[in-house]
């Protein structure tokens, strides 16, 4: 498997100097390591202040680690190769309103291509393809600001896709959307992953998004608290709750059912699993 | 204080080439002491409606009645001062409005502007910090040193500081993590009870609307289209769908199970706790029946 990104013992401090006293350092990240392979979907979760946003900033080279190493595409990320590395990744941020530059949807998607000197014909083709992938071809000449939240994020994803990135980073890309917008965006990302095998890192609060990932990294107080498949992670129910994270709906209902005295066989991650168990063991007898 | 909206209409940039209708024929009653959720798809007019609830916007058509005060297109700004005092609005991301040097000064700012004596305003700031579960030493800190969740609480304290009897909340949990969301919603629930507030919540979360409110107002394309208790509103899944709205997760799950067993539960499961109860009742009933 080809390695796309990795961190090795990464520590990062926002230093606060105080006069007369020694340097007080606040470790926002503390000895973080992980490896991401081609085609994988990695979800990074943690409550506000757990270090997940710092991790994202280091991964895209907005900041550099105090110690340790960030590798992208098998090269150590540095100020020298930063721009080359960035050209291989697409990033979608939280607030859809803060990332538009073009006055129409297609201008916006074309913006980065133009900056990268892509020839016009190629550009037209790639813009069209990218908008097709996010199902926004009906809106090519719309003003981005008049779109719904979910549509805006889909255009932002198209902007990233047009660059044909090897890695797509979603930095809380669904957290400001209404439920419908969230579903739209997740639907698109799911499709991209199966159709073009895109490698995805999503930094998120959304549990349904976490369930779609191959691997989950749970951050707490700057450290990697646990890592594993969504199934493995959500088995740790109470520990996740104690660090301020939520559990998937089906798991919460399972726990509540046990409290009322209903016996269940397993810990169910999805509604389908829970419905099936209820049917098999409780209603069909 | 009761609020009533009678055939309220609103046009942005009225009589200009950019005129745009945002509200049309909105009629609704929000009884004193109720906890009302306003739900509607993005662009349904929720936010414009909210601005009418303390006179930040005056209706282009119809009447907004808040307690004894009638607001129409003819109402003068001066007459609204009293209303602003009684209706507190917590806007989205209220922490963006913090500006003072210390938390104490920030919370005192509103009351001082309304002419409350300094000592009383200070006492109130101290009480509020406690009420909102913040450590007392935050009072002398700069609001900008605090964590996001704490900043939001300070901003909410600033709204509560002038003792509104109606509290309007515009998606108060946007951008918070799951624990923060729950804490803030529980806080408003508690305040609603202890401070005898009339609470109006604008939300995208059907789960919050179902759990916390006793009345729901549905907005669609600038008009009020449904009004009633959550038990009734969330029974009408198809109609909600036509307004591009969903039902709470627990009700959705309930319907799935009901379809599977070919039998309806006794009541609608507005929360996960209710769902678990109804499920266990249904399972028990099944056990009793001879096969």
H or E, element range at A170: strand A167-171
Residue B275, min C-alpha distance to chain A (Å): 8
Question: How far is it, in rounded angstroms, from Cα A186 to Cα A209?
Answer: 7
pLDDT at residue number B288 = 67
- Predicted pLDDT at A24: 52
> Could you write out the three-class secondary structure of A192-214?
HHHHHCCEEEEECCCHHHHHCCC
Residue A188 token pair = 């698109």
Which chain A residues touch B261 with a CB distance below 8 Å? Answer: 279, 283
Average pLDDT value for chain B: 92
Count Cα atoms within 13 angstroms, Cβ side, for A111.
Answer: 16
How high is the pLDDT of residue A182?
A: 83
Confidence of residue B129 (pLDDT cuts 50, 70, 90): very high
| Interface with B, mutate which of A174, A178, A184 (most B CBs under 10 A) | A178
- As a whole number of angstroms, the distance between CA A271 and CA A256 comes to 14
**Residue in this structure with the two tokens 């600038």, named with its chain if needed:** B222
Stated pTM of the model: 0.82
Mutation target for B interface from A147, A251, A257: give the one with most B CBs within 10 A: A257
User: Residue A270 — pLDDT band, cuts 50, 70, 90?
Assistant: confident
Give backbone dihedrals phi and psi of B52, rounded to 5 degrees, phi first: -80, -15
Whether the per-residue pLDDT at B291 is higher than 80: the answer is no
Segment A190-235, tens digit of pLDDT: 888 888 889 999 998 888 789 889 999 999 989 999 999 998 998 8
How many A-B residue pairs are in contact by the CB < 8 A criterion? 90
Mean pLDDT value of segment B7-19? 91
Q: Do residues A68 and A10 lie in contact, with contact meaning Cβ atoms separated by under 8 Å?
A: yes
How far is residue A35's CA from residue B36's CA, in Å, rounded to a whole number?
48
CATH architecture, range B3-247: 3-Layer(aba) Sandwich (3.40)
In A, minimum Cα distance to B273 occurs at A256
User: What's chain A's average pLDDT?
Assistant: 87
Mean pLDDT for the stretch of residues A93-99: 79
The contact set of A with B (CB < 8 A) is 47-49, 148-149, 175-176, 178-181, 205, 244-246, 249, 252-253, 256-257, 259-262, 271, 274-275, 278-279, 282-283, 285
Torsion of CA A99, A102, A107, A113, to 10 degrees: -50
Q: Which of B42, B145, B178, B181 to mutate to test the interface with A (most CBs of A within 10 A)?
A: B178
**Residue B152: pLDDT over 80:** yes
Q: For residue range B230-284, what is the model confidence (pLDDT) as tens digits? A: 999 999 999 999 998 999 999 999 999 999 888 899 899 999 999 999 999 988 8
Q: What gap in Å lies between CA B134 and CA A118, rounded to an integer?
A: 54
φ, ψ for residue B196, nearest 5 deg: 50, 50
Judged against a pLDDT cut of 90, whether residue B122 lies above it is answered with yes
pLDDT over 90 percentage in chain A: 42
Write the pLDDT tens digit of every residue in B156-210: 999 999 899 999 999 998 878 788 888 899 999 999 999 899 999 999 899 999 9
Tell me how close the Cα of B253 comes to any Cα of chain A, in angstroms.
7
User: Do A261 and B280 count as a contact with CB atoms less than 8 A apart?
Assistant: yes
Are B276 and A260 inside 8 Å of each other by CB? yes
The pLDDT value given to residue B57: 94
Give the pLDDT band of residue A274 (cuts 50, 70, 90).
very high
Regarding predicted confidence, which is higher, B107 or A102?
A: B107
Burial (CB < 10 A; 0-12, 13-18, 19+), residue A183, is middle
Say if CB B149 and CB B183 are below 8 A apart. yes
Residue the block writes with tokens 């990302």: A189
Across the interface, which of A178, A253, A275 has its CB nearest the CB of B260?
A: A275
Q: Which of B134, B138, B45, B143 is nearest to B94 (CA)?
A: B143
What's the whole-number mean pLDDT along residues A67-78? 94
């Amino acid at each position: 498997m080809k390695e796309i990104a990795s961190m090795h013992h990464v520590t990062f401090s926002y230093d606060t100097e105080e006069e007369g006293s020694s340097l007080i350092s606040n470790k926002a990240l503390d000895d973080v390591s992980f490896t991401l392979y081609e085609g994988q979907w990695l979800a990074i979760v943690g409550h506000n202040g757990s270090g997940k946003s710092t991790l994202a900033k280091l991964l895209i080279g907005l900041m550099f680690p105090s110690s340790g190493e960030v590798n992208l595409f098998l090269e150590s990320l540095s100020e020298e190769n930063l721009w080359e590395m960035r050209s291989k990744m697409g990033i979608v941020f939280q607030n859809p309103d803060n990332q538009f530059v073009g006055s129409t949807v297609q201008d916006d998607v074309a913006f980065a291509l133009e900056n990268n000197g892509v020839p016009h014909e190629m550009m037209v083709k790639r813009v069209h393809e990218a908008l097709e992938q996010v199902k926004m071809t009906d809106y090519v000449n719309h003003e981005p600001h008049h779109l719904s939240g979910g549509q805006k994020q889909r255009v932002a994803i198209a902007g990233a896709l047009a660059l044909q990135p090897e890695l797509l980073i979603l930095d809380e890309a669904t957290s400001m959307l209404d439920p419908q917008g969230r579903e739209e965006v997740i639907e698109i990302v799911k499709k991209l992953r199966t159709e073009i095998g895109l490698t995805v890192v999503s930094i998120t609060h959304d549990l349904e998004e976490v369930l779609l990932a191959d691997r989950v990294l749970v951050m707490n107080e700057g450290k990697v608290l646990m890592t594993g498949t969504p199934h493995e992670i959500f088995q740790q129910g109470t520990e996740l709750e104690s660090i301020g994270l939520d559990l998937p709906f089906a798991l919460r209902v399972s726990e509540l059912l046990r409290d009322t005295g209903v016996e269940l066989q397993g810990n169910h991650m999805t509604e389908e699993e829970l419905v099936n168990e209820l049917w098999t063991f409780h209603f069909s007898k | 204080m009761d609020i009533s909206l009678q055939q309220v209409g609103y046009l942005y940039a009225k009589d200009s080439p950019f005129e745009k209708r945002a509200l049309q024929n909105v009629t609704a009653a929000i009884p004193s002491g109720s906890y009302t959720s306003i739900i509607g798809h993005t662009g349904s007019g929720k936010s414009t409606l909210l601005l009418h609830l303390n006179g930040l916007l005056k209706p282009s058509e119809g009447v907004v009645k808040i307690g004894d005060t009638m607001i129409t297109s003819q109402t003068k700004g001066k007459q609204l001062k009293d209303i602003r005092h009684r209706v507190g609005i917590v806007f989205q991301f209220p922490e963006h409005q913090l500006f003072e040097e210390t938390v104490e000064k920030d919370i005192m700012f509103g009351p001082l502007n309304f002419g409350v004596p300094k000592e009383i305003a200070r006492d109130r700031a101290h009480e509020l910090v406690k009420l909102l579960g913040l450590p007392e030493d935050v009072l002398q800190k700069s609001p900008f040193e605090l964590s996001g969740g704490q900043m939001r609480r300070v901003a909410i304290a600033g709204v509560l500081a002038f003792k509104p009897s109606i509290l309007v909340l515009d998606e108060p949990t946007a951008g918070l993590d799951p624990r923060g969301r729950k804490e803030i919603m529980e806080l408003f629930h508690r305040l609603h009870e202890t401070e005898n507030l009339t609470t109006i919540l604008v939300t995208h979360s059907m789960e919050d609307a179902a759990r916390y409110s006793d009345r729901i107002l549905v907005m669609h394309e600038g008009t009020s289209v449904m009004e009633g208790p959550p038990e009734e509103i969330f029974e009408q899944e198809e109609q909600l769908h036509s307004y591009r709205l969903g039902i709470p997760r627990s009700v959705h799950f309930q319907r799935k199970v009901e379809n599977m067993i070919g039998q309806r539960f006794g009541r609608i499961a507005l929360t996960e706790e209710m769902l678990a109860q109804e499920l266990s009742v249904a399972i028990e009933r099944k056990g009793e029946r001879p096969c």
